[in-house]
A and B are shown apart, each in its own frame.
Chain A
Amino acid sequence: MTSYIGSATSRVDGRAKVTGEARYAGEFNVPGLVHGYVVESTIPKGRVVRIDTGGALEVDGVLEVLTHRNRPPMADNDLAYKDEVAPEKGSPYRPLYDDRILFTGQPVALVLADDWETARVAASMVKVEYQKEPHVTDLHAERSRAFAIDAPEKPRGDAAKAFASAAVRHAAEYFIPTEHHNPMELFASTAIWEDGRLTVYDKTQGVQNVQKYLCGVFKMKPDEVRVMSPYMGGGFGAGLRPQYQVVLAVLGARALKRPVRVMLTRTQMYALGYRPASIERLALGASSGGTLESMQHETIAVTSQFEEFARNDTGWGNLLYKSPNAKFEHRLVKLDLPTSCDMRAPGAATGVYALECAMDELAIALKTDPVQLRLQCYSDRNQGEDVPYTSKQLRECYRQGAAEFGWDKRNAEPRSMREGSELVGWGMASGVWEALQMPATVRIVLTANGHAEVATAASDIGTGTYTIMAQVAADMLGLPIDNISVKLGDSTLPQCPLEGGSWIASSVCNAIANTARAVRGDLLKLAKGMKDSPLAGAGVDEVALIDGKIVSKRDANRAVSIASAMQSGNAERITREEVNKVDEDKSHARNVHSAIFAEVKVDEELGVIRVTRVVNAVAAGRILNLKTAHSQIMGGVVWGIGMALHEETLFDHHFGRVMNANIAEYHVPVNADIHDIKVIFVEEPDEIVNPLGIKGLGEIGIVGVAAAIANAVYHATGKRVRDLPITLDKVVQFE
């Protein structure tokens, strides 16, 4: 029997997705469905003075226009609106709650009509009068008002003094603009109100998070609300917190006592969360021999006026590089915008970008090869916690990545490599992320016909969760993968955390292992009850489930088929539910690592940049599925290319508005921008991190990619661009 774990198994939900059988939140049609269209605030700050809905209500097919004045009741305390990932400090935004305008694009009315087009037409007839108040949306202009938040990392030694006396110093500011997630699927919710019970199909990365949130906002009991999100067309963090359309859909359903769907437009999605713009200041001091003496990392990032969102931007240097002196500071600037939120590798995508560019600049100042500098500064311990790693094959990432890329042929001199009209540059960077587990419960129902249903309330946000769960369950239960069905994305299923932070694979797969062990115990009991059982006396860990049989590990000839064991015990089904063991052990650091090597070709006169090669060597513990893992990392690299060269949400600060709120003008890479991407998975057995040695891959693919490209652009051109995105006008000074 072949093992599914580790193999390049095709997605078990692939067929459903390409045939359209897989349904998304905006595709659940029910009789009498009402469509909602959102009217947004056109100002960033102030109050709604008057809303004239008369014109809209006269439109044939319009059923109602909800505003803060006539909406059904909602909770009136912050706690009710605090979802699992809401920032600790602040008052969460309450959709359609009162007359206060907190950001441009905030919903001020919901038009409900028999069809979506009618609702949209009527929405354009809703007239809103505002009382404007002065607003601020520019991080640079407001940076002097930044305030420090509790630093996630403790200082060590005296970083300022050590920097001042360091033989070689580099200090600079880097900037990452606001970015939006832009998942392909539009945010949508379909709310069905029946006999005081609510069923919601929602685009979310956490059905149970939304379920609890709706119970709070609408003062309902847990068993009265069911939230489902079987498939998701991309999340990237945008679907971690409940978004406002789910509240509006429920308000509509409650008001009309009919099912209501609210789907946002692409433009409206620019008023949801975003990766906060951040100013990152790095100061690195080194000995002349090229070891770090001092490391300082300060971040100033954007949050809203009403919540304090922050992620760890500054602490990653503690994981990567040894430095006896270190200081970290994270500050926030409150702007009249929606609250910033998690976006793929939150904190690391931005913080490691700055850190890894700074390390490149330090290597240049030291006249040291950038890989060599990283090896000289390599840290075998997380210095913040002063603990070793469960595993850290980053050295091997550097070695294998460099070998695959041909790094040894690099001429260190900037502008030294060229091909015709193009300058060629090679750059590299490191990547790092966490390898966490969260408590998750998995239920397995094994039926006598040899089929198993594996269920938990996780969401598959497109990453392949259905597939890896089927693989692990098939191996653990000794069944063909076609006999496994996986159920996800339903709040009534066993408890599971949000799909985020790269923790779902490790959490649910280890939970499957525990549940499968319990199933195995039940089967063994049944087998032992058989007359002359060949497994008499065997313990649960002395047998394995292989090829539909319960088999002694000592003697493969001693076996009982699952079918006969269940038949003899008259067991039609075995149902078990277990949780993974989440280690409280603080004696080790748990991280994934990567090394990225990038080649760019830059037209010397025109500044046009092509990223012609990227090698990303990743050490992330056990790889469950080579195919989906490869796609996951490749996608991260593509996004990293976009972060480096293309992505930027453009604000008009006078109006406090996003001006490129569509995917024609908000640029992400297209096929022509993508060339060779090589993904390497470095072997990293790890028996400490969790029983299955799984570390997770969701975030690591993007981390460090933009830095490798920025470093390559410098190597090609001799021009250091620290402000992303690196557009051609930043590379070439056009006179």
Chain B
Amino acid sequence: MIPFQYARANDVADAIKQIAADPSAKFIAGGTNLIDLIKYDVEEPTRLIDISHLPLRSIEQTSTGGVLIGAMVPNTDLAYHPMIEERYPLLARAIMSGASQQLRNMASTGGNLLQRTRCFYFYDTATPCNKREPGSGCSAIDGVNRINAVLGTSQACIATHPSDMCVALAALDATVHVAGPAGARTIAFADFHRLPGNTPQRDTNLEPDEIITAIELPPKGFSANYSYLKIRDRLSYAFALVSVAAALELDGDTIKEARLALGGVAHKPWRSSAAEAALLGKRADATAFAQAADWLLHGAKGYGHNNFKIGLARRAIVRTLGQAARGMPQSLSDKKIR
């Protein structure tokens, strides 16, 4: 841990100005991940720019019928917001599956997208890690990798994205609104997080001098047929081994539209257009779900301890799609898997 300066940003423009002026500065909102990383000497910002007071705390309906969520909305407020609970219950359930009440109270919507990836070695500065020190090597590939990725990995990195909320946002086709010195732009959710490739040090396509201002949800919330199922090593307060966000639009038994995203298995929430296309026009049954699972898991590769994740994910996908099709989403209070 190193000493850092603390400054508060007055508005978005001020925040951008401050971060542009100091390449070793970092924004801090809820701090639920960044503070841990600073304590572990993984992140060493010399200046923290507090953006938690920025006026980005509203949840509003957009003119096109979607919802715009301010980047500073706490996770708890988002999950309990009547409009989210009613129209986007998949998002509410995903948020409530993650962390603990105290952490969700602190964590911001924008910050949730910017959690660093999960890997024992990334957090342990005594071991080589390409994400921390590009070129030093990946210790996880031949190491303790039960929690690591099976999809979209590279020789450089097999870390996983830790968020639950992002898995739902990916499935819902959210858009990320960002602002920077050159003005505002939007990034499709699928393009926001990156695969490790040869540059595992970069988790997202957000530029260092950009700030997330809002997340936009399109009108369609799949509130009738959805489920978020999180499989983990204990029944609460643990990261996902595998999580599945599933959303369906049904016409009787027939699938008109499908969304499917995985957490805990890749460097980003994992979607496949082929998997979703494979479901279109099909009867919502286990055969179709299994085919979608095969598409979604195409190319999956285990690294030893995490081999089981592939088979687990296949079964979890089928199960979650079944829950969604039956209109019986996974309950959070009853830990029994439906």
Contact = CB atoms under 8 A, between A and B. Distances in A.
Interface of A: 42, 117, 120-121, 124, 421-422, 601, 603, 605-608, 610, 645-646, 650-652, 654-655, 657, 659-660, 665, 667, 669-673, 727-729, 732-735
Contacts of A667: 233-234, 238
Given A121-B1, A606-B319, A655-B126, A671 B236 contact: yes
Contact of B337 (A121, A421, A727, A734): A421
30 contacts: A42-B126, A121-B2, A124-B2, A422-B336, A603-B336, A606-B312, A606-B315, A606-B316, A608-B337, A646-B233, A650-B144, A652-B127, A652-B139, A655-B126, A655-B127, A655-B139, A657-B127, A659-B124, A659-B143, A667-B233, A667-B234, A670-B235, A670-B238, A672-B234, A673-B234, A728-B241, A728-B308, A729-B312, A734-B307, A734-B311
A670 B3 CA distance: 35
Interface string B92-113: 0000000000000000000000
B207 interface: no
Nearest to A665: B120
Contacts of B144: 650-652, 659-660
Interface string B117-144: 0001100101100000000000100111
Contacts, number: 99
Contacts of A651: 144
Nearest to A674: B235
A contact patch SS: loop
A607 B336 CA distance: 12
Interface in B178-197: none
Given A606-B231, A651-B144, A659 B121 contact: yes
Contacts of B337: 421-422, 603, 606, 608
Interface of B: 1-3, 41, 120-121, 124, 126-127, 139, 142-144, 146-147, 231, 233-238, 241, 307-312, 314-316, 319, 335-338
Nearest to A42: B126
A177 to B, nearest CB: 12
B315 A654 contact: no
B312 A728 contact: yes
B127 A734 contact: no
**Which of B2, B235, B316, B319 is packed against the most chain A CB atoms within 10 Å?**
B235
A665 B309 CA distance: 18
A70 to B, nearest CB: 24
A654 B234 contact: no
Contacts of B1: 117, 120-121, 124
Nearest to A648: B233
Contacts of B314: 734
B309 to A, nearest CB: 8
Contact of B315 (A601, A650, A734): A734
Contacts of B315: 605-606, 734
Given A657-B124, A672-B237, 19 more contacts: A42-B126, A124-B1, A124-B41, A422-B336, A603-B336, A606-B337, A645-B234, A646-B233, A652-B139, A652-B144, A659-B120, A665-B120, A665-B147, A673-B234, A728-B241, A728-B312, A733-B311, A734-B311, A734-B315
A605 B319 contact: yes
B235 A672 contact: yes
B234 A669 contact: yes
A670 B101 CA distance: 13
A733 B315 CA distance: 12
A42 B125 CA distance: 9
A107 to B, nearest CB: 15
Nearest to A59: B3
B142 A654 contact: yes
Nearest to A668: B234
